[in-house]
């Protein structure tokens, strides 16, 4: 009996003046691809040509040096009218990126709600940098999926924070693997960057009634747990997609405090592990008295600039090289003050002045994704 021959072939391809040239037969592209070689299987030639073109285009896409992004929920991402409006906003202004929810606090995945690849193709056609936001350790879906990784109550049952969400123990490495799998899926769909949020220990709820299934509280500081996860994430994802960018959201207070805030986040660790660090410097989230103001929300320029400068001071001799890796989340919602175009401009100017010529941009956060007035304070391309 003849041994069955594997239909898999390797096709070397390259791009020349926008054309895709392939050596060998035409096959269907499988998942594996590396170093300019596409591993593919027999299929229709038209399908292959389109797939190869997509890969070449993705590899040739230039990541913007200065990212100026807006936040987008799964709901907005799945609404054609809203997305068309945001794409038009990017065409009309300096916005060139979108941060899109891929995994939420309940564990919900954007892949279950819409055709992600089609959405990303549309964004890339408009030269929009696509960032996948993934909520990491706050994850209620883990209760059913991986109960052994979830933080428990001392009295029994699942521990939950003030809003009712369950949390994965940051030291539970099985929980890490799931996050990496979701990240790889986002990269496969076409996202240019993975952005992690909630890489920390819980901050609210009954913190004295928690039982960690994996964390050794006595011998391992929180910041070592978080750094270990961060370095593993870098190792795994850079091996999977060397050209991808990896970023993290952290509290703005991390920039002005000398400790990890009891949640494991230290600026110096995050700078080492991630390509970009996104501090949430929303002025409304600062306490009365910060930077000498009774209501910091009324003084966005001073709060944003002061926070960024404090963070750079913490970096010491590495301040200059670190500045390019910091992109702040800016407040684009009314809280503490009515955020007029003047206050929005003040935040953007505070970012430029705080980080200097090496500034790599900023991100606008509005949980409702209502950026209708952004044209008033954003520059034109």
Question: What does the pLDDT look like over 166-223, one tens digit per residue?
Answer: 999 999 999 999 999 999 999 999 999 999 999 999 999 999 999 999 999 889 999 9
Q: Where is average pLDDT lowest: 118-132, 164-178, 261-275?
A: 261-275
All domains of the chain in start order, with CATH: 9-55 (no CATH), 62-377 (3.20.20.80)
In this predicted model, what pLDDT tens digit does every residue of 74-87 receive, in sequence order?
999 999 999 999 99
Q: Give the strand order in the sheet containing 37-41.
A: 19-22, 9-16, 37-41, 28-34
Predicted pLDDT of residue 61: 62
Tokens 């592209």 label which residue? 29
3-class SS of residue 144: helix
The mean of the pLDDT values for the chain is: 86
Query: What's the token pair of residue 2?
Result: 């003849």
Which burial class, exposed, middle or buried, applies to 66 when counting CB atoms under 10 A from its CB (0-12, 13-18, 19+)?
middle
**Residue that the structure tokens 């991808």 belong to:** 244
353-374 pLDDT, tens digit each: 999 988 999 999 999 999 988 9
**Is the confidence at residue 237, as pLDDT, over 70?**
yes
Nearest 5°: CA angle at 235, between 358 and 144? 115
Candidates 194, 245, 233; CA nearest to 62 is 245
pLDDT band at 379 (very low <50, low <70, confident <90, very high): confident
Based on C-alpha coordinates, what's the Rg of the chain?
A: 22
Q: Is the pLDDT of residue 326 over 80?
A: yes
Half-sphere exposure of 12 (CA within 13 A, CB side): 2
- Whether residue 305 contacts residue 252, with contact meaning beta carbons closer than 8 Å, is answered with no
Q: For residue 19, is pLDDT > 50? A: no
217 phi/psi in degrees, rounded to 5: -60, -30
pLDDT over threshold 70, residue 93: yes
289: number of Cβ within 10 Å:
9
Q: Is 46 or 163 the better-scoring residue by pLDDT?
A: 163
How open is the CA angle 2-8-10, to the nearest 5 degrees? 135
Q: Read off the pLDDT of each residue in 121-136 and give the average, rounded to a whole number.
A: 97
Q: Coil, helix or strand for 124?
A: helix
Q: Which of 17-26, 68-77, 336-345 has the lowest mean pLDDT?
A: 17-26
What is residue 126's three-state secondary structure? coil
Whether pLDDT at 58 is above 60? no
- pLDDT, residue 143, reads 97
Q: What is the DSSP-derived secondary structure letter of residue 359?
A: -
- Give the Cα separation of 229 and 200 in Å (integer): 10
Comparing 47 with 268, which gets the higher pLDDT? 268
Confidence band of 242 (pLDDT split at 50, 70, 90): very high
pLDDT at 40 > cutoff 50? no
- Nearest 10 degrees: Cα torsion 285, 290, 294, 300: -60
Give the C-alpha separation, 375 to 94, whole Å: 9
As a whole number of angstroms, the distance between CA 195 and CA 250 comes to 11
What is the pLDDT at residue 16? Answer: 36
CA distances from 10 to 45, 73, 87 (A): 15, 39, 37
Query: Three-state DSSP class for 237?
Result: helix
Q: What is the pLDDT of residues 129-173, one digit of tens each?
A: 999 999 999 999 999 999 999 999 999 999 999 999 999 999 999
Q: According to the model, what pLDDT value does residue 259 have? A: 67
Query: Taking residues 255-284, what's their average pLDDT?
Result: 88
pLDDT of residue 57: 44
* Residues facing 250 on adjacent strands: 279
Residue 232 CB coordination number (10 Å)? 16
pLDDT at 11 over 80: no
Residues in the chain: 381
pLDDT on residue 318: 84
Which pLDDT score, from 0 to 100, does residue 22 have?
42
pLDDT at 41: 45
Residue for token digits 């747990």?
225
Q: What percent of the chain has pLDDT over 70?
A: 83
Q: What is the mean pLDDT of residues 332-351?
A: 95
């Amino acid at each position: 009996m003849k041994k069955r021959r594997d239909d898999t072939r390797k096709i070397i391809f390259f791009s020349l003046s926008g054309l895709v040239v392939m050596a060998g037969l035409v096959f269907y592209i499988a998942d594996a691809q590396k170093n300019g070689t596409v591993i593919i299987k027999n299929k229709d030639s038209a399908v292959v040509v389109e797939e190869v073109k997509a890969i070449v285009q993705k590899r040739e896409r230039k990541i913007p040096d200065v990212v100026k992004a807006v936040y987008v929920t799964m709901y907005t991402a799945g609404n054609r009218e809203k997305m068309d409006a945001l794409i038009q906003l990017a065409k009309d202004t300096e916005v060139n990126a979108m941060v899109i929810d891929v995994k939420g606090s309940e564990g919900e995945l954007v892949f279950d709600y819409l055709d992600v690849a089609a959405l990303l193709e549309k964004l890339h056609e408009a030269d929009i940098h696509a960032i996948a936001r993934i909520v990491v350790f706050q994850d209620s879906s883990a209760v059913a999926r991986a109960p052994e990784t979830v933080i428990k109550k001392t009295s029994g049952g699942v521990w939950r924070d003030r809003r009712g969400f369950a949390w994965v123990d940051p030291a539970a490495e099985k929980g890490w693997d799931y996050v990496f799998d979701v990240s790889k899926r986002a990269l496969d769909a076409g996202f240019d960057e993975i952005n992690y949020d909630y890489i920390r220990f819980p901050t609210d709820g009954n913190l004295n009634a928690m039982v960690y299934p994996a964390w050794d509280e006595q011998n391992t500081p929180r910041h070592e747990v978080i750094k270990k996860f961060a370095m593993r994430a870098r190792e795994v994802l850079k091996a999977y997609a060397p050209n991808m960018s990896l970023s993290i959201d952290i509290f703005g207070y991390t920039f002005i405090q000398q400790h990890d805030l009891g949640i494991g986040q230290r600026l110096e660790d995050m700078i080492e592990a991630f390509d970009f660090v996104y501090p949430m410097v929303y002025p409304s989230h600062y306490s009365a008295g910060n930077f000498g103001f009774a209501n910091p929300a009324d003084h966005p320029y001073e709060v944003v600039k002061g926070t960024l400068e404090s963070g750079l001071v913490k970096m010491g001799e590495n301040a200059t090289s670190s500045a390019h890796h910091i992109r702040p989340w800016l407040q684009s919602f009314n809280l503490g003050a009515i955020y007029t175009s003047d206050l929005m401009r003040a935040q953007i100017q505070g970012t430029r002045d705080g980080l200097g010529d090496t500034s790599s941009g900023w991100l606008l956060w509005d949980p409702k994704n209502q950026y209708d007035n952004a044209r008033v304070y954003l520059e034109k391309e």
